[in-house]
Amino acid sequence: MPLISLRPPSDLGDPPLLPPRPTLRQAAPALALFVAIRVLCLATLVVWSQLAGRSAHDLLARRWDSLWYVRVADLGYGYTLHAPDGRNLSSMAFFPLYSWLEKALSTVLFIGPANAGLLISALASVAAAWGVFAVAAHCYGRGAGIVLVGLWAALPVGIVQSMAYSESLFVALAAWALYAVLTGRWIVAGSLACLAGLTRPVGLAVSAALIVTAALGARTARPTVRILAGCALAPLGAVGFVLWVGARQGSLFGYLDVQSGWGNGFDGGLAFARFLADGITGTPSAALAAVLLVALLLLAAWPHWIGLRQLQPPALVVYSAVVTLLAVGAAGYFGSKPRLLLPAFPLLLPLAVVLARSRPWVTYLTLTVMTTVAALYGAFWLNGSGPP
C-alpha cells in the first residue's frame, strides 16, 4: 500500500476537480497566500539590507543577470564583456523575451528597464502562482492547488521570483502551457511553450512535455491537426533564437560557443559530480554545501519516482524531469542548482497532496516554518553571494 497516492481526488472521496477554466475567485485564496509569503520575504530583505547598509532595490534589480537583461533591452545583442579570468561573456547567452518586455514597458511607462523588470517579475509571479494552482487543482483538487502555491512561494530560493530575473515569467508561461495540455488546448499550449522557449533555455522542458504527451496519446488515437500544430509551435521560440545566434556567430552551434564562453555547457553532470566530490573532501563549509546539494538532488529524485509510480500526468513528469536533468547536467555555476530547479514546481506535488489531506495545523506549521526559512535565507543570500 503506497504512502502517497496521486490518483485523482474523485477516486479518493475528495472534493471534485475544478471546471476546465479556474476563475480568479477560485484561485483567490492561493494568490492571497502567495502574495502574503512574498511580501513577508521582501519585508525581511528590506530590513536586513538596511541593517547591512545596502539597498534592497539594487539587490533585486541591479545585480548579476538583471544587469545583462538591461543591457539587451538598452543596447540589443552584440555586447561582450572580457572577464579578468579569460572568459568572454556575451549577451547572446540570454534569451530575448524578458528583455523585450523590459524595453516595451520602460518605453510605455517612462521607467528604466531595471524597474520595468521588477514590475514584470511581480506581475508574472502572480500569473505563475495562478498557473501552478490551476495545474494542481485540475489534477488533485483545490486544496492541493492552494498548498502547492504556498510551497512554491516559500522555497528557500523563492526570492528570485521577486528579482528582475526571467524565472517568474518562464514559470508563468510553463505552468499555463502545461495546464493547456492537461485540458486539451493544444494551440494555446504550443503558443505558450514557444514563448517559454524565448524566455529561458529550459523552455525545452515545456516542448518536451507537449511532444511526449502527444506521442503517448497517439498510441490509442490518431493525433488531430490541433495536436500536431501545437507540437510544431512549441519548439519554435527556442530553436529560432538558437539558429539566429548561430547565424550571428557564423556557426550552426554558435549558441553553444556562446555558452562555452561563459564556462557553461552540458556534460550530463560529470563536472557537477567532480564539484561535489571536491567539496566533500574540502573545507568544512564546502563539505556542508556539497552535502546540502546532494540532499537537494535526493529530494528532487523522490517526487519523480512517486509521479511515475502513481501515474501523475505525463506532461508534468516529463517537464520536471527535463528541468532537473538540465539543471544537474549543466557544467557551470554549481551554486545555482537550487535556483535552476525553481521552475520544477511539479516536484512539490506529492508533498502538496499529503498536506492538503492532513490536519490543518500540520499544513499551517509546515508553511510557517518554510516561509520563515525562505525569508531569512533570501535576505542572507542576496546580501551575500546571491545567485550568479
Bigger pLDDT: 48 vs 18: 48
pLDDT tops 70 at residue 282: no
Q: What is the pLDDT of residues 326-379, one digit of tens each?
A: 887 666 665 567 788 899 999 999 899 999 999 999 999 999 999 999 999 999
- The 8-class DSSP code of residue 81 comes to E
> How does pLDDT run across 156-172, given as a tens digit for each residue?
999 999 999 999 999 99
329 with 275: CB under 8 angstroms? no
User: Quick one: which H or E segment has residue 182?
Assistant: helix 167-182
Q: What is the three-class DSSP state of 82?
A: strand
Say whether pLDDT at 11 is over 50: no
HEC string of 306-353?
Answer: HHHHCCCCHHHHHHHHHHHHHHHHECCCHHHHHHHCCCCHHHHHHHHH
| pLDDT score of 221 | 80
The average confidence (pLDDT) of the chain is 85
Residue 241: pLDDT above 90? yes
- pLDDT single digits (tens) 99-138: 999 999 999 998 999 999 999 999 999 999 999 999 999 9
pLDDT given for residue 253 in this prediction: 83
What sign has the CA pseudo-torsion 332, 337, 339, 342? Answer: positive
DSSP string of 257-284, one letter each residue: HHHHHTT--B-TTHHHHHHHHHHHTS-H
DSSP string, 2-16: -S---S-GGGTTPPP
> Grid coordinates standing for 360?
490543518
The answer for residues whose C-beta is within 8 angstroms of residue 68's C-beta and 6 or more apart is 91, 93, 94
What the block records as the C-alpha cell of 237 is: 521560440
Q: Is the pLDDT of residue 292 over 70?
A: no
Residues 6+ apart with CB under 8 A from 302: 350
**Residue partners of 142: CB distance under 8 A and separation at least 6:** 15, 18, 26
- Please indicate whether residue 305 or residue 1 has the higher confidence score (pLDDT): 305
Residue 148 and residue 13: Cα distance in Å, rounded? 20
- What does the pLDDT average to over 266-274? 55
The DSSP H or E segment spanning 80 is strand 80-82
| SS3 assignment, position 229 | helix
* Stretch 55-73: mean pLDDT: 93
Residue 260 has pLDDT above 50, yes or no: yes
pLDDT of residue 281: 63
Sign of CA dihedral 375, 379, 385, 388: positive
Note whether 241 and 355 are within 8 A (CB): no
Residue percentage of the chain with pLDDT more than 90? 61
Integer CA distances (angstroms), 97 to 100, 117, 148, 173, 243, in order: 5, 11, 27, 11, 16
